[in-house]
Amino acid sequence: MGERYELIVLGAGPGGYVAAIKAAQMGHRVAVVESRDVGGTCLNRGCIPTKTLVHAAEVLEEIRSCEKLGIHVGQVSYDFAGMHERKAEVVEQLRGGIEGLFKAYKIDLIRGCGIILDSNRIQVGDQAYETDRILIATGSKPAMPPIPGLTLPGVVTSDEMLEGKGVYCKKLVIIGGGVIGVEFATIYHALGCEVTIIEALDRILPTLDREVSQNLTMILKKRGIKVYTGARVDRVEHTDQSVQTAQEKGLAVYFMSKEKEQCVETERVLVSIGRRANTEGICPPSLNLQMQRGMIPVDDSFETCIKVIYAIGDIVLGGIQLAHVASAQAVNAVCSMFGERAPMNLSCIPSCIYTNPEIAAVGMTADEAKMRGIRTITGKAIMSSNGKTVIEMADRGFVKLVFEEESKVLLGAVLMCSRATDMITGLSDGVAGKLTMSQLAATVRPHPTFSEAIGEAIEDADGGAIHAAPRRK
């Protein structure tokens, strides 16, 4: 029998490493079991590498359009391998930071796949470890639908797109128009790739405000990205034509759109229909965690049906698969398991999409409020009249705020504009703190900034009455 710990965490992603550090800060003896690199999917094959490539693509686009600013740079090109080298540098730097924190807080990192033997024992390879508590934070992996041909060479997931030197191509078909799909479409289009998105539902980004989906669809199509919605992929086959960028055959994607079979020939196919819980093999059948489709049900303290075994992040049944959600759940779970108050407010979760323009949302949309029987007032500011937007030649966008009609409390916000992912935090505070229209309007917002649009949206919701001059008696 190996070391005994007060907590063993399975998984070193944004949920697992935050939980381990929090527990160690509280003075507890902690170990983390990880079979791959620390940082999990988010750091190594998700959020961070994607956003590094998004940034490179945005800089490339800005340079291409800089003549409108009176700046001349000559011929512009890019180095695909160099972009991925920069991505690797960013990942390595951040990964080193996590490993440094493990050492600083004396957290043991156990390399290998952990198997839960019972509520107090973890098996890693030939070694068993005893623990008082177990936290499962094994994250998720790309889902693969049962479509014929998805095992062919050239069909990839986001993992392959982001690992190592990436996947270079001049033609790309993306199956799935969710967050992952539209972000990769933005990156590869900036690199001169011919991109096609095929989405089974009636619109891309189907979980967000409908206006966001419509607006982004128009922007993508204007840029030359083909978008098919309400389209079902039937199969993927090889073509006789070889791929110029690799020693492989090309691919043909067959799909039904408007009751008609269509075909797109491509070099690569990215499958991005979502992610599934990575819980296979974490415990023997005798240890019944009552999983549903691989996901684990938990209570409000993130404890499973087996006492002292907890679960957080992408594997939680009914949860939201976002890195910052896993980190917040980690803090609450650790505090709960060691008898302290859970500090994080999980009722108000912002979501961000790093397209161009950026998209961010928090709280309820007007349609969701209507479904709950809540009467609302909506305020909207169009970014085409925003000074900073005009200066930076940014694409069309808007800020939309939803207030409860009677109390004027902020219920939700949707932003589609430059810096939306940074601005959403202030509005998240407003939703979580139940701030009213007048309280939000009292904030002085600097000029010129993108955030001025928030004040304009508030005024639009109240018909300008908040800042109207008082009537003389």
Would you call 175 exposed, middle or buried from its count of C-beta atoms within 10 A (0-12, 13-18, 19+)? Answer: buried
Assess whether pLDDT exceeds 90 at residue 273. yes
Identify the band that residue 471 occupies on the pLDDT scale cut at 50, 70 and 90: very low
CA distance 160 to 35: 18
Residue 251 near residue 269 (C-beta atoms within 8 A) = yes
Relative orientation angle of helices 452-461 and 420-432, to the nearest 10 degrees: 50
Assess whether pLDDT exceeds 90 at residue 240. no
Assess whether pLDDT exceeds 60 at residue 37. yes
Residue 298's pLDDT is: 98
Identify the band that residue 470 occupies on the pLDDT scale cut at 50, 70 and 90: very low
Q: What confidence tens digit (pLDDT) does each residue in 365-414 have? A: 999 999 999 999 999 999 999 999 999 999 889 999 999 999 999 999 99
Average pLDDT over residues 246-273: 91
Give the mean pLDDT of the chain: 94
* Residue 417: DSSP 8-state: S
Average pLDDT over residues 281-294: 93
Among all chains, which residue has been given the structure tokens 């086959």? Answer: 237
Q: DSSP for 68-112?
A: GGT---------HHHHHHHHHHHHHHHHHHHHHHHHHTT-EEEES
Residue 463's pLDDT is: 81
Assess whether pLDDT exceeds 80 at residue 468. no
Is 72 catalytic? The answer is: no
Assess whether pLDDT exceeds 90 at residue 244. no
% of the chain with per-residue pLDDT over 90: 92
Residue 194's pLDDT is: 97
Assess whether pLDDT exceeds 80 at residue 1. no
Assess whether pLDDT exceeds 80 at residue 260. yes
Residue 3's pLDDT is: 75
Residue 467's pLDDT is: 47
Q: What confidence tens digit (pLDDT) does each residue in 101-156 have? A: 999 999 999 999 999 999 999 999 999 999 999 999 999 999 999 999 999 999 99
Q: What confidence tens digit (pLDDT) does each residue in 169-205 have? A: 999 999 999 999 999 999 999 999 999 999 999 999 9
Residue 243's pLDDT is: 66
Residue 25's pLDDT is: 98
Residue 395's pLDDT is: 87
Name the token pair of 131.
């623990």
Helix and strand element counts for the chain (H, E): 13, 24
Q: Which of 28, 238, 447, 467 is catalytic?
A: 447
Assess whether pLDDT exceeds 90 at residue 249. no
Residue 396's pLDDT is: 85
Average pLDDT over residues 54-76: 93
